[in-house]
Structure 1
């Protein structure tokens, strides 16, 4: 998008990959919802808002814009001429995540996440925006407590997107809804993968890949292959993990975007390391680091890959280096990951902490490893441990017993682990 004087509105549109024509269409649909007649907002109207030529839209357009974005007009950089313009109030992802989690509270752990229900009668870009916000809510809960329990909410979102797709009149909106259906369905698969319930994930991923094809969306295709690589690794099918990660590398988005390429190379490195090809794994890890160095981390990105950046790459590097037989560099990478990890990613913090404990154990630091491993329970206090994390802690205990079966720290860890396990 070209440079604009209204950076707040431009940032909101860029974060949702929305063109001026699409925003105009969404605003007109919102106006129809409260007046019964489509609005007359045009692509040129939106360009005037972006350029600052029109600082205060007419009342119907302001109201429609606020319905579409969920934000007051002033937070979008719009204000009558001559008045003081406040600092833009657009919230970053962490702020939105904390507000959502605070509002939902503990009830979300036991009930499906509610999806948006208020919709205008005309299916259009506004529906795509609302469903995209629902995906963001699911991702926020996953980052905080893990994906367990989100499967049904995600499948409900996919069903809604497909229902609306049948009513849509434009090809652009239909593709957007197919893409969202793919995103929701992949999220349902991820819920099972993170919970350690692997049997049903294949079916969801097959469906998500088909929907991504119907949407002609290479980014959703990459998301599916990324999850397939993770699923295969949990099944210890490392050849398939590598093949899936390489399929992610071959997607159009990975060829265009250094950020996506970095994740695909890192996922390949993890599969190769577990497959006992340490040299190839370290080469792939180097490619992932080189690609990430070329990525502009300030650019808006899709919700599913919002987690990826220096912290996640350090975390994956800790896995690769430890499995490749280099626990010292693995420990250093895990420390770097924890230092860089955003506050809201509690599940990721617990997982990386468990990897740190393994790296310490592999260096013979039994007491330190046990102390580190114990902090995982504190990090996840009040939330059931996701299945993947339970599996990782089980691996840690088995290796602990192998390395130091009679150590006092080992006995203390086993007692704590059994106590925590009995409370799940």
Structure 2
């Protein structure tokens, strides 16, 4: 029996700088994330894959390898049991061609499908979509833990490109293609949100335009809502309430808001935050009342997209109410919503807790309670205080306001020492 080397796997490893040992470690870690138990591979296991001695890895290792590489096992040169490989032994020139082809990530599957000896192009299916959706869930979770980080933005943008490469990797039904475009739009909208949260607005605008185009090709109402709603928030943070309201109105005009009261509620809550920035008290209160009414009407349903299920609830409605009333200068009402939000926030909403705590400190200080506000501000976790652009800026503004309220007081000294301690831990 002739044993053929797995040149596709070798080419991928070369392109991505992996040794046999480092790939084994990455696959073991991925298997632990997927199953809760670490994998048992070592460098010799990967060398057996490359040499062709193992033509079809065990299911756990195979799934983890697909997670690490973003490619199917067959695209990586493995052959399912019972199937014979019809490909001839490649020449050195063929190896170089394969190596170049794999640069495109998932798009390498298209090259493999078109190579001599392949019976038919690869068929892209819902399993590919589900894999992308699983990685999107990871992006959403990272955002709620850390928020605004450049690494999250870059990873989400890369995954959007990966999803688009998949479109060229083979044939697919229209429903599958629409779902892939929706996944690409979702990744790009997460890159957009990370840039907004990190106050990188020019970059966020570029992500927004790309996300909008992808969403149109997908026809997915939920992702269109997310993108336009994010745009409204972006313009609000940029101090452009008219543009913010216009963008949010596009989100609220989508028929998904008529079909699902939860989307209607989120659109109204963000409209209230924009109205607060514009100093429109009547519009703020009316929008918040309507947002609350819509949330009460909404069913508790698992059919909503993961990004909606992960963050929008009563706590987020109170968070947007806090933002709106803080902008209006109604500090007692803002404080009320801050406390309600903090009680109801789910544990994974780390970034939101830091933002709400900082806003609460501002509301307390504005009411003259400097001692309570200082204690509240000191509760913000070090990571958020030093690494999250929005939180860092709000805390700087808090420090300036505290110095203006109580110049030369021991409270100011305590705050300065606390900030210095934060900086030494970075």
CA RMSD, aligned part only? 2.2
| TM-score normalised by structure 1 residue count | 0.70
| More moved, 160-169 vs 223-232 | 160-169
1:215-230 equivalences under 5 Å are: 215-230=218-233
Structure 2 SS opposite 1:182: helix
Which residue in 2 is equivalent to 1:12? Answer: none
Q: Which residue does the alignment assign to 2:131?
A: 130
Q: 2:202 matched to which residue of 1?
A: 199
Provide the TM-score with structure 2 as the length reference: 0.69
Cα deviation per residue 1:17-46 (whole Å; 9 max; x = unaligned)? Answer: xxxxxxxxxxxxxxxxxxxxxxxxxxxxxx
Contact preservation (8 Å) 2:386, 2:423: no
The answer to whether residue 318 in structure 2 is matched with residue 317 in structure 1 is: no
1:165 counterpart residue number: 167
Q: Where do 5+ consecutive residues of structure 1 fail to align?
A: 1-69, 72-112
Instruction: Tell me the residue number matched to 1:390.
Output: 392
- Deviation larger for 120-129 or 170-179: 120-129
Shift of 1:362: 1.4
For 1:370 and 1:339, locate their aligned partners in 2 and report how far apart those are by CA, in whole Å: 20
Corresponding residue of 1:336: 340
Query: CA contact under 8 A between 2:148 and 2:389: conserved in structure 1?
Result: no
Shift of 1:400: 2.0
Deviates more, 1:148-157 or 1:368-377: 148-157
- Mapped to 1, the partners of 2:366 and 2:131 lie a distance apart of 48
What is the correspondence of 1:139-178 to structure 2 with a 5 Å cutoff?
Answer: 139-148=140-149, 149-166=151-168, 167-178=170-181
Question: Within 5 A, what are the aligned runs for 1:27-38?
Answer: none
- C-alpha distance 176-312 of structure 1, shift in aligned 2 (>3 A): same
- Could you tell me which residue of structure 2 aligns to residue 65 of structure 1? none
* C-alpha distance in structure 1 between counterparts of 2:286 and 2:362, whole Å: 23
**Deviating more after overlay: 125-134 vs 345-354:** 345-354
Distance in 2 (CA, whole Å) between partners of 1:152 and 1:328 is 40
- Hey, which bits of structure 1, 4+ residues long, moved more than 4 A? 421-424
> Which residue number in structure 2 is paired with residue 97 of structure 1?
none
Deviation at 1:114, TM superposition (A): 5.7
Give secondary structure in 1 for the equivalent of 2:347.
Answer: coil
Map of 2:358 onto structure 1: 354
Aligned counterpart, 2:295: 292
Deviation at 1:115, TM superposition (A): 6.9
Partners of 1:398 and 1:278 lie apart in 2 by: 27
Please give the secondary structure, in 1, of the residue aligned with 2:304: coil
- CA shift in 2, pair 1:184/1:236, >3 Å: same
Q: Which residue of 2 aligns with 1:403?
A: 405
Q: Cα distance, 1:370 vs. partner?
A: 0.8
1:304 Cα deviation from its structure 2 partner: 1.8
Could you list the per-position Cα deviations for residues 198-228 of structure 1 after superposition, in whole angstroms to 9, with x for gaps in the alignment? 2211011011011000001111111111111
Are positions 1:302 and 2:256 aligned together?
no
Contact 2:386 2:422 in 1 (8 A): no
Change in 2 beyond 3 A, CA 1:421/1:279: farther
Shift of 1:168: 3.5
Secondary structure of 1:150's counterpart equals helix
Aligned-partner SS, 2:201:
coil
1:109 matched residue in structure 2: none
Q: Which residue of 2 aligns with 1:7?
A: none
Change (3 A) 1:335 1:236: same
Distance 1:199 1:254 in 2: 29
2:368 matched to which residue of 1? Answer: 364
Contact preservation (8 Å) 1:377, 1:420: no
Match of 2:277 in 1: 274
Tell me by how many angstroms 1:312 deviates. 0.6
SS in 2 for 1:375: coil
d(CA) in 1 for partners of 2:363, 2:195 = 27
Per-residue deviation, 1:342: 0.6
Name the CA distance, whole Å, in 2 between partners of 1:261 and 1:390. Answer: 31
Structure 2: stretches of 5+ with no match in the other structure: 1-33, 36-66, 75-121
Residue in 2 aligned with 1:420? 422
Q: Note the alpha carbon deviations across 1:211-252, whole angstroms, 9 max, x for none.
A: 000001111111111111121122111221222222211112
Alpha-carbon distance, 1:422 to partner: 5.9
Q: Over alpha carbons, which structure has the higher Rg?
A: 2
> 1:200 aligns to what SS in structure 2?
helix
Separation of aligned partners in 1, 2:68 and 2:232: 30
Q: Helix, strand or coil: the match of 2:380?
A: helix
**Partner Cα separation in structure 2 for residue 114 and residue 278 of structure 1:** 51
* Structure 2: distance between partners of 1:418 and 1:228: 35
Range with bigger deviation, 251-260 or 367-376: 251-260
Cα distance in 1, alignment partners of residues 232 and 336 from structure 2 = 25
How far the C-alpha of 1:359 sits from its partner, in A, is: 1.1
